Chain A
Amino acid sequence: MKRLLPVIIALCILVASFILLPKSEENKKDSDLLETQLNEYIAKMKENGETDELEKYWVTEYDRGNAEVDKSGITGENGKIIFAAEASFEPACFAGEGGELQGFSIDFIYRFCREYGYEPEIKCYEYTAMNDALSSGKVDIAVGVLEDEERAEEMTFTDNFIKFDIIAVYDSAVSNGFNSLDELNGKKVGIQSGTGYEQYLEVAIPDAEPVFFGDFASIYPALQQGKIDAMLTESVSFGVEKTEMPSFVAIDGSLETMPLRTAVAKTDDGGTFLDNLQNSFSKTFLRESRWQMFVKGVGITLLLTITSAVLGTILGLLIYLWCAHGKKAETKFTNILCWIMNSTPTVVLLMVFYYVIFGSYTISNTVVAIIAFTIHFACIFYDHIISGVKAVGNGQVEAGRAQGFTQDQTFFKIIFPQAAEHFMPQYQGSIVSLIQETSVVGYIAIMDLTKMSDLVRARTYEAFFPLLATALIYFLLIWVLTSIVKFISKKIDKKNRKKEKILKGIKLS
């Protein structure tokens, strides 16, 4: 019992800190009241033409750089309300001069608060994270959300306060353009994952091929480099986009008109823990056969990991031999390469490879990822070999050479088997790291396990089950891979051989 004391103390500290952490629940306002007030206010705005005013000021007659939200008249006599708005989405919510938040969502928030005597606190979230923020009580109201069936299970939507069209855009600098939406049939169309716009694409242009990107900022370069033929965007923000990229042209026609609403958290309508669990499970895996997405994701993750590990090991070995046979120049070059590889975060490395090095080439993003991971792993393995060889020492090298073995024979028959014993634990660790590092390939639009989990999360709007499932699957994958590596290392360990193996092919007298 005494030996467990440190563990018990650590656990107590952990529990205490959770108890002492301020709960976001404390600030939870009555959702029903807010819902009523919001609907009431929006109806009023429509009646007295404020919604039209909003649209005119921020969209049709948008004066970029000068448009400002009127933030006066806030009394806060009825308390504080925390709002969620979509980050960096001009002209809905963006940081203007001096970092001040501006945009029509912000404008709506301040008008609402003035009317009901609230004090606003505005938090900016990624669109797909807004639901989590609402359901966990971190915010009271989400502003600028689109309604759909799945979301409606988690949040209550109000009426809309503004609307926009989904349009398709092409880059006139790289393409001759399209005269109508129908011409996009058979073409690649970029969509930000989590918006759900693929549903409307399916309906409006059934033979178009959707290509998903993690964030909006990744879609522009893809369009400019010709990796996609067109991209979907919102009519409200296109005006802004055009000022940045004058060569972008909108194709006539709207895929769908989208009303932007506000939402409050759904009051818990009960259901046992088990019921909720079951519901989450079915939403994550069963609905729309989403388990297939997970399987595909696992397939990609395994492909990336195993290919990069195998190729990286071989490449690392080749680099080592190249340096061993060469002189200072080869070693110096390799050291610089390894230094660059090790100093760059994997995500950045991947993006550099995809957008910069292979930017102007049509090359599958999976191939680019494999190349990047292979080179990275090769550098790591090279360091392993160096340290393993050093641990073996120079004596046996001399003995081998003195007997007449060539440099390569000495390395492969004498030194390397012993070096492997030394670096095997680190090698196993590197494999585990590799599989974990592949989880960022979603940044270059590869649908690996993590990315699939993201997509599911974006559709189901809950975090728990997909994340837990993903973590579990990674755990299993790593377990299997490390078992394989351990098995292989046991097999090649010379000391584990039985007598028969050692004396294979020998007749004893």
Chain B
Amino acid sequence: MSDNKLIEIQHLRKEYEEVTPLLDVNVTINKGDIIAVIGPSGTGKSTLLRCINLLERPTSGKIIVDGEDITDHKCDINKVRTKLGMVFQSFNLYNHLTVVENCMLAQTTLLKRSRQEAYEKAMELLKSVGMEDFALSYPEQLSGGQKQRVAIARTLSTDPEIILFDEPTSALDPLTVGEVEEIIAKLAGEGCTMMIVTHGIEFARSISNRVFYMDQGGIYEDGPPEQVFDEPEKERTRKFIRRLACLEKKLTEDDGHDLRDEFQDIFGFLSNYKIETKRIVKVCNAYEEFYNLVMRYIVGEDKTVYVSLEYYAKEDKLTLSMAPSSTVEMNEEFYEKLENTLEYKILCNYSLGYKNEEADEGFGRRFTMEL
């Protein structure tokens, strides 16, 4: 299977002045791998990517790309780089050239193709990302999503062996994220080898055939998506995945005046999981009612409530929990009269179930409902 080995990373170490994100990374990337790189911030996801095409020079270790050791100083890195493609978070299009020229420049200069050939290939690629009508536009005339699509076409123009995506959708607003993710998914479907650093879990799950969860100075867990996302083998992975699918908030009495910000966050969070709008609206309403209910019955000065909205994708289960901080006391009536309150009745219409239980340490009772 050595025919399939594209990139071999051996004992890769990257040190910066203050921090060492990568301690000792060892991994092999094969042709056809569609790797999602996830993990908390600062764990070296981008660093790993940028070491592969030597935008960052490793402090020590070996990286072999397509049989060539790029960490060797005698290596002609420019030649190797033409086999590697990169798509950046901030697009980095060549602003002084038109869209089509952006996709032609590397072809004519590095691959020595004729302008005619380069043009035809560029137009073909632009068509596949839906940007052929903008061929003679300049990057400054495009929106973020459009720029990223052009950037992808530009990368493909040199027929790279693998494309490295460094948080391709992080700079886009939630509505345009989708259009770019669609393109990437299409590429994955065509068998393109790629490595994507992303925060979009659902997206990562849907297209990848291998997941790197990065933590503790290296690739903490490496496995197929079904494993890493649904049944993580290791503890920290489990904690991360769980946290990702969870929206946590701290509300005080003042927030009650305008919960619209909260609704925005809920909407953004849940659209990641492709939950339909009707359901999201239900969640928002339940949120508001729940909040009013709890606030009404808090006794004392400090009216603070911890809210969490969790989505368990496997079972399509949405859970909304609220817990006042332990320093807060709930009015005695609350426990008795809860089921008689109007709010409660309304909530029951929304919810599929309700629980009232002892919460974790440091909190009062936790109220959970399923939506």
Residues of A within 8 A of B (CB): 395-396, 398-406, 409, 413-414, 417-418, 421, 494-495, 499, 502-507
Question: Closest chain A residue to B105 by CB distance?
Answer: A413
Contact of A413 among B90, B93, B109, B154 (CB under 8 A): B109
- Which residues of chain B from 218 to 258 have any CB-CB distance to chain A below 8 Å in the complex? none
On chain A, the residues within 8 Å of B310 by CB distance are none
On chain B, the residues within 8 Å of A505 by CB distance are 115-116
- Cα distance A314–B82 in the bound complex, in angstroms: 31
B317, CB-defined interface residue at 8 Å = no
Stretch at the interface among B63-71, B94-102, B175-183, B353-361: B94-102
CB atoms of A418 and B96 under 8 A apart:
yes
CB distance from B347 to the nearest CB of A (A): 49
CB atoms of A495 and B110 under 8 A apart:
no
B298, CB-defined interface residue at 8 Å = no
CB distance from B220 to the nearest CB of A (A): 27
Q: Mark B104-142, 1 if CB is under 8 A from A, else 0.
A: 011001100001100100000000000000001010000
CB atoms of B92 and A494 under 8 A apart:
no
CB atoms of A409 and B109 under 8 A apart:
yes
On chain B, the residues within 8 Å of A502 by CB distance are 98, 100-101, 136
Q: Known contacts A402-B55, A495-B138, A499-B136; is A395 also within 8 Å of B119 by CB? A: no
On chain B, the residues within 8 Å of A403 by CB distance are 81-82, 85-86, 106, 110, 154-155, 158
On chain A, the residues within 8 Å of B85 by CB distance are 402-403
Would you list the 7 A-B pairs with minimal beta carbon distance, nearest first?
A: A404-B82, A399-B92, A404-B81, A395-B92, A402-B86, A494-B96, A403-B106
Contact of A404 among B90, B91, B110 (CB under 8 A): B110
Q: Known contacts A402-B53, A413-B109; is A503 also within 8 Å of B119 by CB? A: yes
Question: Closest chain A residue to B106 by CB distance?
Answer: A403
On chain B, the residues within 8 Å of A506 by CB distance are 115-116, 119
On chain B, the residues within 8 Å of A421 by CB distance are 96
- Cα distance A401–B97 in the bound complex, in angstroms: 17
CB atoms of A404 and B138 under 8 A apart:
no
CB atoms of A418 and B109 under 8 A apart:
no
- A-B CB contact pairs (8 Å), 13 listed: A398-B88, A398-B92, A399-B88, A400-B94, A403-B86, A404-B79, A404-B81, A405-B106, A406-B78, A413-B105, A414-B94, A417-B96, A506-B119
CB atoms of B81 and A396 under 8 A apart:
no
- Cα distance A409–B106 in the bound complex, in angstroms: 10
CB atoms of A396 and B82 under 8 A apart:
no
- Cα distance A506–B158 in the bound complex, in angstroms: 19
CB atoms of B90 and A405 under 8 A apart:
no
On chain B, the residues within 8 Å of A494 by CB distance are 96-97
On chain B, the residues within 8 Å of A402 by CB distance are 53, 55, 81, 84-86
CB atoms of B97 and A404 under 8 A apart:
no
- Cα distance A393–B95 in the bound complex, in angstroms: 11
Q: Known contacts A398-B55, A405-B110, A413-B105; is A507 also within 8 Å of B90 by CB? A: no
- Cα distance A333–B136 in the bound complex, in angstroms: 44
- Cα distance A373–B120 in the bound complex, in angstroms: 49
On chain A, the residues within 8 Å of B155 by CB distance are 403
CB atoms of B115 and A395 under 8 A apart:
no
Q: Given A398-B88, A506-B119, 19 other A-B contacts at CB below 8 A?
A: A395-B92, A402-B53, A403-B85, A403-B155, A403-B158, A404-B81, A404-B158, A409-B109, A414-B96, A418-B95, A421-B96, A494-B96, A495-B96, A499-B136, A502-B136, A503-B119, A504-B115, A505-B116, A506-B115
On chain A, the residues within 8 Å of B158 by CB distance are 403-404
Contact of B55 among A401, A499, A503, A504 (CB under 8 A): A401
- Cα distance A200–B158 in the bound complex, in angstroms: 79
On chain A, the residues within 8 Å of B96 by CB distance are 414, 417-418, 421, 494-495
- Cα distance A506–B88 in the bound complex, in angstroms: 30
- Cα distance A396–B105 in the bound complex, in angstroms: 13
Question: Closest chain A residue to B98 by CB distance?
Answer: A502
- Cα distance A495–B53 in the bound complex, in angstroms: 31
Q: Known contacts A403-B81, A414-B94, A507-B116; is A395 also within 8 Å of B88 by CB? A: yes
CB distance from B50 to the nearest CB of A (A): 9
